[in-house]
Structure 1
Amino acid sequence: MQAHSKQALAGITLAALGVVYGDIGTSPLYTLKECFAGHGLPVTPGNVLGILSMIFWSLLFVVTLKYVIFILKADNRGEGGIMSLMALARQAASGKRRGLVVVLGLFGAALFYGDAIITPAISVLSAAEGLEVIKPELEAYVLPMSIVVLMALFLIQRFGTASVGMLFGPVMLLWFGTLGVLGLMQIAATPQVLAALNPLYAFDFLVKHGHDAFLALGAVVLALTGAEALYADMGHFGKKPIRLAWFNLVLPALLLNYFGQGALLMTDPSAIRNPFYLLAPSWALMPLIILATLATVIASQAVISGAYSLTRQAIQLGYCPRMGILHTSAKEIGQIYMPFVNWGLLVAVMVVVLAFKSSGNLAAAYGIAVTGTMLITTLLAYIVARANWGWPQPLALAVTSFFLVIDTGFFSANALKLFSGGWLPLLIGLAVFTLMATWKRGREILVERLTEHAIPLDSFVENMESFPPSRVQGTAVFLTSTLQGVPHALLHNLKHNKVLHERIVLLTMQGEDVPYVAPAERVRITRLSNSFWQVEAFYGFQETPNVQEILDLCAQQGLEFEVMDTSFFLSRETLLSTARPGMARWREQLFVWMSKNALRATDFFHIPTNRVVELGAQIEL
């Protein structure tokens, strides 16, 4: 039994290696090169040791101490990620503080989309740039090769990652093994590079170079990209496999490779043009380019899957309109495909690749999204440590302040790159934040308008039972967004058809601040009268509502449905932007546009299309 559990743990750890560490595992392709080439620093032994020391201690403090040890504690019923952390912090906050938590969480999530666009672009470009090392004349093929690889990556998304996912772990195992071996060979030839383990080299570099060192700090953060994936993928693999993979393979392989590149630069400063590929002997260059391309595709796959998952969470938490969600695996609930998100990312990635053309140009744009999300994660973690873990304030302040100082330093260094590419992730983040905030506020205003003139439910039910209209056979299910007031679709049906079904069920979907809701807690049934029932269905932010599942659970509690004798009534609102107080007119018009393009409730909730009746209603915002 123990041997079996160890085998299972090894399998999960290998899978985590493929999905979780793709992004941070491909950082050696470009990080050290950008630390020097991106800022014009002379490649001297002192500077090499200073940069390496900063990379080493950054990996130790930020990734190991902050994410692997501290942040992984903040699990929301086993799930992680910035939206999950926001949900945890929101439960503990109240009033204005609750609003601040939501704003922080939403902006952190919005920045992730900037990361999801830039990561595939910079990773694949940096892998393809190995062609220039083989022969400078091949530079013309870097961009076309990158475009072909990226297009293929997005085109295969609809088939899901279940079939190719099994290859991710072994490929990344080979990748990290290769990183370690290449670095170790060079370290053995120049062992004095290990002096960079001394933090005084980092301190001395910062003091001597001042402004230039601060700029270099903005490139050092490239070694940390993908740290958020540790937390975001916790629900898929668990803490233990993620920690095992980091300490036993990923961290040693990364350090060996970075120090190996540093050792090469100490003996051959001209290798700065591409220190990663120049670590390898000439005969191994082409196989290494192929392996690097596979690794960057895997890194991109993890970020794309993360964008799907984050979008589903936003939909369930009420910050995003309904979109099509396809499950690509019968076994893994987390493996989904969202066509709209996929094609949107593809277009954005292609625009970025064609606009920036090289990994060096893109490096300036990369850091702000990553460091911004890191900063927000630390702030939210403080609230969770105080409210959820019961930490005393001095301890919570001491721990989070330590991380906050580091995060602020990295963010400030990257903020200096605002006009040389850093504007891109900020622009993407602001656009996504605006969309999410507008959708949330628009839905709140819509509910307010619907309830303004709504008839109280209790008195309506009592009146219908006392003075019943004509009744027809069967069950009518009315989907409504609120428990208060009579649904518009019910009033319209009664007004125009002048009949009611013999059984009326008011169905409301409720999104919860938890990833999953247990089947036993999924449905709450309230009998309002002899013929009126109220059903509340609860779903977590990692789940997709399904009406058939709700009907089955209702049957287990005694409220049975015959699908062919049941009609589903939906209200289809036509929204009009007005001058009434609520939102700015441009935001109202944006909300109207988003509503028009949202997936129909019939498709999203998987309601049998031949049993649906839609009744229109015109609402002024």
Structure 2
Amino acid sequence: MPDEEVILENATDHQEVPDHHQNQELKARKLSWQKLRRYDSLDLESRSFTAHHGHASKGAEWSVILHLAFQSIGIVYGDIGTSPLYVYSSTFTKGINHNDDILGVLSLILYTLTLIPLMKYVFVVLRANDNGDGGTFALYSLLCRYAKVGLTPSQQAEDRDVSNFELELPSKRLKRASRLKSKLENSPFAKVFLLFATMLGTSMVIGDGVLTPCISVLSAVGGIKQATSAMTEDRIVWISVAILICLFMVQRFGTDKVGYTFAPIICVWFTLIGGIGVYNFIKFDPTVVKALNPQYIVDYFRRNKKEAWISLGGIVLAITGTEALFADVGHFTVRSIQISMCAVTYPALILAYTGQASFLRNHHHLVYDTFFESIPGPLYWPMFVVAVLASIIASQAMISGTFSIIQQSLSLGCFPRVKIVHTSARYAGQVYIPEVNYLLMLACVGVTLGFRTTAKIGNAYGIAVVFVMTLTSSFLVLIMIMIWKTNIFLVISYVLIIGSVELMYLSSVLYKFDQGGYLPLAFAMVLMIIMFVWNDVHRRKYYYELDHKISPEQLKEIAVGANFCRMPGLAMFYSELVQGIPPIFNHYAANVPALHSVLVFVSIKSLPISKVPLEERFLFRRVEPKELNVFRCVARYGYTDVRNEHEPFEGLLVEKLKEFVKDNFLISQRNMHNNNGEKFDINEEEFDDGLANGENGKEEVKQVDDQEKQQDLLDEEIEAIDKAWRWGVVHLIGENEVTAAKGAGIVKRILIDYAYNFLKRNLRQSDKVFDIPHKRMLKVGMTYEL
């Protein structure tokens, strides 16, 4: 095959090629010959190849882990930590009918906190991180790497050679895992359903990001009613709106030091609610410790029947923000979150809910303002201030999480192009999205003004929380079977225990659909429509380009045409097509019959991993004939990687291109030192020893002239690239207009001509997303009839 590709990341030392003595030249380069394999996957569908390495988890010192554990308190636990503000008032919406009902609800809270956040998330779900990153998208990316469930056919065999890509898999129970994997890969419905579930999960978390600021701030500000009767509901609502607007306006400054700033406040918060809980427990009713007996749960349901089931929608608010344990793990480590949860958050919450239950045993009539009424007089104002600060912090955590989720969705082609602003040079995960920030602000203000009370918002809040938890459990079961290859009895136990509890809570929150529960589903529906429209047309465009791609033979005909001229400079032609040259280039060549001296077709590709190391970013291939100086490059990014912002993209690409040319040359020289019948992948030490002992000496003497000619050609090619680089780089951007093909149905016309094009016109263009300099950019337009 005339076309060759070299995987640059497998070259361990990139040094300049000396001008003399080929043996020294080959030994000095120290290439890892066994890893330099030649696949032709830029044109072919991905096949199975054995990877040479897996991802090894990096250990961290205990001092670092404890440091991160402290920081995580300020980032992760704001939401679940502020739940004591409103759980009892949301549970007993019709008052307390029996004194033992308090014990039943406390027992439910204690066991729910233990089962879901502690057992499920801290000890099970956190293990399912994707090279340190978490969330619904991370679970989906794990499945995409293990099974071919992605809907866009851009997979390549070389993807598995990226150091973060390969999964370390145990060897047992392969049959069951292989059977499930085969069913997923061969079922179009399963692929669509997995993507749909991922979109639903991300949409629900974004809905959570809207509701968390509303309910947290409104609950905290509402505490001022206990201090003055002049504070009406309207004033509380407007004060909450003002705080929310200020919260969203400061988002542009980023969250670089948010952990250091917020962790002390949340630590004070947990200390205060835990201490007040102990005080109330001792002062009012220590016998509430009886709630450890689950019999009180059974009695609670016997007494209240349907009302008890409905009240589960309030109890589930005790675990709001639990998904943040998993979603924010990328900022910290699994061990640090486990330590902070077990040592600080869990004990403080248990003490807080127990103390409030002790207080309520003697003050049934104060259930609607349990939190602030149970605070000892001297601590009221300090507690009020800390509560407002803690509620703002809880809101901040979910807002930041929403930005991260949308950043991840972009890499799947599941969200319209938006501007991603990286607010920290040290922490890649800290991002800010201007458009989304203002839409969230408008949504939060609208919800606060429309619902006005925490009880109504709580009905909506519960649905978003439980939906995400249920979807996480569903993905986790697939990972247990296919990737972890867990014992089937443990999988069944997980489904029966965790799954049944979550389904019970889900059924309860759905009962309040007409009392505000429709809100997160409405948010999710709008977001799902946007995601579906964008993803569907994105895939249609990709298949169109794949079907109409330009072959190397067609490119050669274009380049050697009589009316086609070459001009100095280097051109980068951007597209999303990985498997070939996009059809828009033919459109460009037909209208501008000139080609730069060096042309690189750059495909921006997102891998289903969080990060791609910089040295493994580029994958090159030469387009024959060699004298054309035309190359194809796949620039690979993970879903949390920064694109063209903090890295010198142009310079890096040119340097890697020169390394590719040199590596290609050395491989051809390597082949010259082997007999025709010898295997290519011989041991490097054997090769070096052979050179030292004078083997193949005659062949080297005979080939020295050819080698010198090849070396001259290499020098000329490197100089041509350098010269083109000095002349300047031109960025050619394909701006594809899409329209429904003639004869298309009305649904397809609405989808493409109206919905997609409306989103495209009102959002960022690709040059703004990738920060391409306008002075050196040329847009090439073409209409695709899909």
Q: TM-score range by the shorter chain?
A: over 0.9
Q: What CA distance in whole angstroms lies between the structure 2 residues aligned with 1:581 and 1:483? A: 30
Report whether the alignment pairs 1:105 with 2:198.
yes
1:21 to 77, 83, 89: 77
Letter in 1 for 2:205: F
Question: Which residue of 2 is the match for residue 83 of structure 1?
Answer: 137
Deviation at 1:134, TM superposition (A): 1.4
| 237-246 vs 587-596, which moves further | 587-596
Q: Secondary structure of the equivalent of 2:191?
A: helix
Structure 2 counterpart of 1:566, from 713, 726, 729? 729
Aligned position for 1:300: 395
2:127 corresponds to 1:73: yes
CA–CA distance in 1 between the matches of 2:771 and 2:287? 64
Matches within 5 A, 1:36-51: 36=92, 38=93, 40-51=94-105
Deviation at 1:544, TM superposition (A): 3.0
Task: Tell me the SS of whatever aligns to 1:167.
Answer: helix
CA distance in 2, matches of 1:200, 1:483: 61
How far did residue 69 of structure 1 move?
A: 0.7
- Of the candidates 546, 550, 555, which is equivalent to residue 654 of structure 2? 555
Letter in 1 for 2:515: S
Aligned to 1:539: 637
* Letter aligned with residue 470 of structure 2: L
Instruction: Report Cα offsets for 1:193-221 as digits up to 9, x if no partner.
Output: 11111111112112221101101111100
Distance 1:105 1:451 in 2: 26
Q: Which moved more, 1:112-121 or 1:266-275?
A: 266-275
Provide the rounded CA distance (Å) in 2 between the counterparts of 1:545 and 1:6.
33
Name the structure 1 match of 2:262: 168
- Tell me the CA shift for residue 466 of structure 1: 4.7
**Counterpart of 1:378?**
473
Residue 602 of structure 1 aligns with an amino acid whose one-letter code is: D
| Alignment match, 1:604 | 769
The amino acid that maps onto 1:158 is R
Q: Structure 1 unaligned runs (5+)?
A: none
Deviation at 1:8, TM superposition (A): 2.8
Distance 1:545 1:180, change over 3 A: same
* SS of 1:342 mapped into structure 2: helix
CA contact (8 A) 1:261 1:276 kept: yes
CA-CA distance at 1:553 after TM superposition = 3.4
Q: Tell me if 1:127 matches 2:220.
A: yes
Q: Does the 8 A contact of 1:457 with 1:486 survive in 2?
A: yes
Query: Which structure dedicates a bigger proportion of its chain to helix?
Result: 1
Contact 1:488 1:617 in 2 (8 A): no
> How far apart, in 2, do the equivalents of 1:303 and 1:285 lie?
27
Name 1:414's counterpart in structure 2.
509
Number of equivalenced pairs: 615
- Would the aligned equivalents of 1:53 and 1:201 in 2 still touch at CA under 8 Å? yes
Partner AA of 2:421 in structure 1: L
The 2-side partners of 1:43 and 1:25 are apart by 28
Deviation of the 1:445 alpha carbon: 1.3
Is residue 222–residue 367 contact of structure 1 (8 Å, CA) maintained in 2? yes
Instruction: Check 1:581–1:532 CA distance in 2 against 1; reply closer, same or farther (3 A cut).
Output: farther
Secondary structure in 1 matching 2:484:
coil
Greater CA drift, 303-312 or 427-436: 427-436
**2:567 matched to which residue of 1?**
472
Following superposition, the deviation at residue 303 of structure 1 comes to: 0.2
Q: Which amino acid aligns with 2:636?
A: F
Tell me the C-alpha RMSD between the 2 structures: 1.9
CA distance 1:141–1:285, shift in 2 (3 Å): farther
Distance 1:77 1:304 in 2: 23
TM-score (norm 1): 0.95
Q: Does 1:35 align with 2:134?
A: no
Counterpart of 1:587 in structure 2 is 751
Question: Contact 1:67–1:231 (CA<8 Å) still a contact in 2?
Answer: yes
The offset of 1:581, in angstroms, is 5.8
SS class of match (2:632): strand
1:288-336 Cα shifts (integer Å, max 9, x gaps): 1111010010000000000100000000121012111111112111111
Q: Secondary structure at the match of 1:344?
A: helix
* Cα distance in 1 for residues equivalent to 2:520 and 2:586: 47
CA-CA distance at 1:585 after TM superposition: 3.1
2:106 partner letter: L
Classify 1:544/1:577 alpha carbon distance in 2 versus 1 (closer, same or farther; 3 Å): farther
Is the counterpart of residue 58 in structure 1 residue 151 in structure 2?
no
- 1:465 deviates by 5.2
In the superposition, the TM-score normalised over structure 2's length comes to 0.76
Larger radius of gyration: 2
Structure 2 distance, partners of 1:263, 1:316, is 50
Q: Does 1:389 align with 2:501?
A: no
Q: How far, CA to CA, are the matches of 1:348 and 1:81 in structure 2?
A: 23
Secondary structure, in 3 states, of the residue corresponding to 1:500? strand
Deviates more, 1:483-492 or 1:417-426: 483-492
Q: Which amino acid aligns with 1:122?
A: I
Instruction: Please state whether the residue corresponding to 1:515 is helix, strand or coil.
Output: coil
Which residues of 2 match residues 237-316 of structure 1 at below 5 A? 237-316=332-411
Q: CA deviation at 1:267?
A: 1.1
- The residue correspondences of 1:185-264 to structure 2 (distance < 5 A) are 185-189=279-283, 190-264=285-359
Determine helix, strand or coil for the equivalent of 2:109.
helix
How far off its partner does 1:5 sit?
4.1
**Shift of the alpha carbon at 1:616?**
1.6
Q: What amino acid is the match of 1:130? A: G
1:130 aligned counterpart, secondary structure: helix
In the TM superposition, residue 137 of structure 1 has moved relative to its aligned partner by 2.4
Shift of residue 584, structure 1, vs aligned partner:
3.4
Compute the displacement of 1:577 (Å).
4.1
The structure 1 residue matched to 2:556, chosen from 443, 462, 465, is 462
Q: Is the 8 A contact 2:549 2:581 kept in 1?
A: yes
Sequence identity percentage: 29
Give the partner amino acid of 1:86: Y
Q: Which residue of 1 aligns with 2:32?
A: none
Q: d(CA) in 1 for partners of 2:348 and 2:726? A: 58
Deviation string 1:133-158 (CA, Å, 9 cap, x unpaired) is 11232124211210111111000000
For residues 345 and 403 of structure 1, the distance between their equivalents in structure 2, rounded to whole angstroms, comes to 32
**CA distance in structure 1 between the partners assigned to 2:341 and 2:596 by the alignment:** 60
The alignment partner of 1:361 has SS state of helix
Q: Distance in 2 between matches of 1:89 and 1:451?
A: 24
Per mean C-alpha deviation after superposition, the further-off stretch among 8-17 and 344-353 is: 8-17
Change (3 A) 1:62 1:489: same
C-alpha distance in 1, partners of 2:551/2:439?
Answer: 42
* Distance in structure 2 (CA, Å) of the matches to 1:586 and 1:290: 51
SS across alignment from 1:289: helix
Which residue identity is paired with 2:336? Answer: P
Secondary structure, aligned partner of 1:545: coil
Q: Provide closer, same or farther for how the CA distance between residues 434 and 563 of structure 1 changes in structure 2, counting only shifts above 3 A.
A: farther
Offset at 1:357? 0.8
Residues 735 and 780 of structure 2 are in contact (CA less than 8 Å); yes or no, is this contact kept in structure 1? yes
Deviations 1:98-147 (A, max 9, x none): 32221111111111111110100000000000011112321242112101
In 1, the alpha carbon distance for the partners of 2:343 and 2:565 equals: 72
Alignment partners' CA distance in 1, 2:549 and 2:249: 50
Moved more, 322-331 or 596-605: 596-605
User: Aligned equivalents of 1:244 and 1:575: distance in 2?
Assistant: 52
Confirm whether residue 141 of structure 1 aligns to residue 228 of structure 2.
no
